[in-house]
């Protein structure tokens, strides 16, 4: 079944979009009519993702970038706005994980996870929000995790980044409501991607990247008077 072009004329930016959840979100928004900018660190994988999207007649702009670096973010946002127009939809999806006892994590690992999962969101929001305010509103959707709400052994560093993301997102939502910018958080459980190990789990019962993309599509097509601040996604059956 084809999707209606409910986002026709809008521009979306999706980070961490060369594969997995980010690519599924970018494809879904493109199929709904949006012009889509995608970014990731790996230029080759990013171009492969863009090629797949072009095969569906999606207007896509791939921009290699490390979103934990302010200079990369400034260049990314400037290129997107210059090429595709003002950003209406921002999906902060870039993320990495470290799973192991918190007291055994190195400082480098801590910095890498927090910079990618949390600092990058701050940097991109800071760069994108002025443009959204100028043209009257927008959507910011931050892909978090159920790990941002639940503690588990081996999750100290990753959970810290996601709990921080929750707090940042909810406060930013309050800061921006009067500017017609809705900030939402999507918290999936384990998703079948290359991101994290899922040894012993039944792949057929796990969440799929498309499940997260479906939630994002719902958020960006809300009626003007509604505001969904948080979406939790769990598999129907435990894997």
State the residue range of the domain holding 56.
Answer: 11-233
In a domain, 128, yes or no: yes
Q: Tell which residue, 204, 236, 231, has the closest CA to residue 219.
A: 231
pLDDT-derived band at 203, boundaries 50, 70, 90: confident
**Total tally of structural domains belonging to the chain:** 1
Six-digit token pair at 215?
């939630």
pTM flag (> 0.75): yes
In a domain, 239, yes or no: no
In a domain, 4, yes or no: no
Q: How far apart are CA 29 and CA 50, in angstroms?
A: 13
Cα angle at 122 between 131 and 174, to 5 degrees? Answer: 75
Rounded to the nearest integer, the mean pLDDT of the chain is 93
pLDDT of residue 15: 98
In a domain, 27, yes or no: yes
Catalytic residue among 89, 93, 158, 207: 158
CB hemisphere CA count around 108 (13 angstroms): 0
Arithmetic mean of pLDDT, 222-235:
93
In a domain, 3, yes or no: no
The label of the residue with tokens 């039944």 reads 202
pLDDT-derived band at 202, boundaries 50, 70, 90: confident
pLDDT above 70 for 91: yes
pLDDT above 60 for 1: no
Is 158 an annotated catalytic residue?
yes
């Amino acid at each position: 079944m084809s999707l209606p072009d409910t986002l026709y004329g809008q521009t979306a930016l999706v980070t961490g979009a060369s594969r997995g959840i980010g690519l599924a979100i970018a494809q879904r928004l493109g199929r709904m009519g949006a012009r889509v900018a995608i970014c990731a660190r790996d230029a080759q994988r990013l171009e492969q993702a863009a090629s797949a999207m072009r095969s569906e007649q999606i207007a896509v702009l791939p921009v290699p970038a490390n979103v934990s670096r302010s200079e990369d973010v400034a260049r990314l946002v400037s290129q997107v706005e210059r090429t595709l127009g003002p950003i209406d939809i921002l999906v902060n999806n870039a993320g990495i994980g470290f799973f192991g006892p918190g007291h055994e994590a190195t400082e480098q690992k801590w910095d890498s996870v927090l910079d990618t999962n949390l600092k990058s969101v701050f940097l991109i929001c800071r760069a994108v929000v002025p443009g959204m305010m100028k043209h009257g509103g927008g959507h910011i959707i931050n892909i978090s995790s159920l790990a941002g709400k639940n503690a588990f052994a081996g999750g100290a560093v990753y959970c810290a980044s996601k709990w921080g993301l929750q707090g940042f997102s909810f406060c930013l939502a309050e800061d921006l409501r009067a500017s017609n910018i809705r900030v939402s958080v999507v918290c999936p459980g384990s998703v079948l991607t290359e991101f994290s190990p899922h040894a012993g789990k039944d792949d057929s019962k796990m969440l799929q990247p498309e499940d997260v993309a479906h939630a994002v599509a719902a958020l960006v097509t809300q009626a003007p008077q509604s505001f969904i601040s948080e979406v939790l996604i769990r598999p129907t059956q435990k894997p």
